[in-house]
Amino acid sequence: MLNKKLNNMRYLFFIIVLAIAGSCTKLEPKMYSDLTTGNAYSTEKDINAALVGVYSDLRPGASDSYLYRAGYIVTLTDYGCDMGYTTYGGDIHKMGLSTYDPHNHYFSSNWGNIYKTISDANVLISKIEDVSMDETKKKQVIGQARFLRALAYFDVTNAFGPVPLLTEMTDPTGTYNMPLSPVSEVDVVIIEDCKYAVNNLLDQWPPDGIARATKGAAATLLGKVYLRAHDYTNAKTYIDMVLQLRNEGVYVLNSDFKNVFSDSNPADMGMIFGILHESSINGGEIVNHFCASDNPEVPNRWGYYAVSLEFWRNYDDADPRKHFFYYNYEGMLSGMKPPPMASII
C-alpha cells in the first residue's frame, strides 16, 4: 500500500515537472547588461569608470590599505636607504637594515601594483580614441591616465632602475623576461606623458575632483624627473610653473605646519596631489604612524616606523617638523635593547 502511494506521488511529481517545464519553454530572458572585452570601453560612462579604476590602483585592496602609493612605496625608497628605521620585525625590518633578499614581499607587491597601474592606464589610453565623447573631456581623461602612468614609471625606476617599458596594451604572456629599458629611455615617456598632462589638465578641479591629477601635479612630476636626471634648467622651468600657480592662489602654504595634516584640515590648500583616506575606515596605514597629533581616530599611534637617528638629527631644532612628526629618540648603547618608541608630539 505504501509503495503504491509513493509511486502515485512520483507520477504526480513527474506530471508537475513536465507542466512547469512546458510552461517555461516560451520565456525569453531580457539581457540588461552583457559586459565583454569587446564592448567594455564603448561609452563615456565606461571610460570614466576605467579612469577611476586606474586611480584606485594607487591604493589597491580593502584588506591592506598600506599598499603601493598608500605607503608601500616608501619601503623601497626611504626604508631602502639610510633614512628609514623600524622596531618592527619581518620583511619591513630587513628593508630598514638592508638585509633583504629576493623573497621579500615588498618587492613583489610593489612591482605588481605599479605595473597594474601602468597596464590599466595603457588599456584606457588605447581604448578611448574609439569612444564618442567631448574632445576636451577626452583629452582630460587621457591626461590623467598619462600622468598616472608617468607617476608609476617614476616610482618603479626610482626603486629598481632599468625596467620593462610598456606603453601599449600587451598580452601578459608576452612580457615574461622582457628586456630592461635604461632609465633615460623611461624618462622620455615620463616627460612626454607629463607634458601632455600639463597642456590638457585643469589648474583645479571642482570640489568632487579634489584627488584628481592637475596641471600642477604634472609640472611637479616633470620637475622631479628633470632633477633626477640633473637637468636643472628644465627642472626650474616646471618648478617655476608650480610656483606661479601658487602665486595665482591655486596653492596656499599653510601658515602653521602642524595644521597641514590636521584632522580639522582634511584638504590642505598646499596639497599638489594626494590620495584621500578615511582615517577610521580603511585609512592609510602610514597615518597610524605619522598622523597629526589632533587626529581623534588614531590617538595611540603605532610608532614602529620612523626615521633613522642620523637623519632626524639633520633637522634644525627650530624646524617644527622635527618635534611634531618625528620621534624624540636618543639612540641606545651597543648590546642594549631599544627603548619603547615615544609618541609623536
Q: What angle do CA 144, 150, 155 make, to 5 degrees?
A: 130
Domain annotation covers residue 205 = yes
40 has a pLDDT exceeding 60? yes
Q: Confidence band (pLDDT; 50, 70, 90) for 72?
A: confident
Give the pLDDT band (50/70/90) at residue 285. low
Query: Which amino acid, one-letter code, is at 144?
Result: Q
Return the top range by mean pLDDT from 6-10, 104-108, 336-340: 104-108
Of residues 159 and 10, the one with the higher pLDDT is 159
Q: Could you give the CA distance from residue 24 to residue 305 in angstroms, rounded to a whole number?
A: 63
Domain-located, residue 64: yes
Looking at residue 313, the DSSP 8-state letter turns out to be H
Within a domain: residue 100? yes
The pLDDT confidence band at residue 283, using thresholds 50, 70 and 90, is low
Please tell me the total count of domains within the chain: 1
Strand-pair partners of 123: none
**Mean pLDDT across the stretch 148-154?**
98
Please check whether residue 202 lies inside any domain of the structure: yes
Please tell me the predicted confidence (pLDDT) of residue 184: 97
Q: How confident is the model at residue 146 (pLDDT cuts 50, 70, 90)?
A: very high
Check residue 340 and give its pLDDT: 38
**Is 257's pLDDT higher than 50?**
yes
DSSP state of 341: P
User: b vs e for 185-216, b when ≥16 Cβ sit within 10 Å of the residue's Cβ?
Assistant: ebbebbbebbbbbbebbeebeeeeeeebbbbb
Cα-based distances in Å from 176 to 163, 164, 179, 186, 338: 12, 10, 9, 19, 44
Instruction: Indicate whether 187 belongs to any domain.
Output: yes
Half-sphere exposure in the Cβ direction for 170 (13 Å, CA): 17
| Axis-axis angle for helices 215-228, 135-160 (nearest 10) | 30
Give the mean model confidence (pLDDT) for residues 303-311.
69
Name which residue leads in pLDDT, 108 or 335.
Answer: 108
CA–CA distances in Å: residue 310 to residues 15, 52, 84, 138, 315: 85, 40, 10, 48, 10
Residue 128 belongs to some domain of the structure: yes
**Helix, strand or coil for residue 156?**
helix
- Containing H/E element for 86? strand 84-86
What is the extent of the structural domain holding 90? 41-324
CA-only gyration radius of the chain, Å:
27
How crowded is the C-beta side of 26, counted as CA atoms within 13 Å? 3
Domain CATH number, residue 200: 1.25.40.390
Q: What is the pLDDT of residues 90-117, one digit of tens each?
A: 888 888 778 888 899 989 999 999 999 9
Per-residue pLDDT tens over the stretch 204-241: 998 877 889 999 999 999 999 999 999 999 999 999 99
Residue 216, C-alpha cell as written in the block: 600642477
Most confident of 36-40, 185-189, 264-268: 185-189
Return the closest-CA partner of residue 114 out of 148, 140, 147.
148
User: pLDDT grade, residue 71 (50/70/90)?
Assistant: confident
- Is 250 inside a domain boundary? yes
Measured distance CA(47)–CA(134) in Å, rounded: 12
pLDDT in tens, 157-211: 999 999 999 998 877 777 778 899 999 999 999 999 999 999 999 999 988 778 8
Look at residue 33 and tell me if it is in a domain: no
The alpha carbon of 283 is separated from its chain's Cα centroid by a whole number of angstroms, namely 13
User: pLDDT per residue over 43-67, tens digit each?
Assistant: 889 999 999 999 999 887 666 667 8
* Residue 206 to residues 51, 53, 202, 203, 214, Cα–Cα distance (Å): 17, 20, 10, 10, 11
Instruction: List the one residue out of 325, 216, 227 whose CA is nearest residue 271.
Output: 216
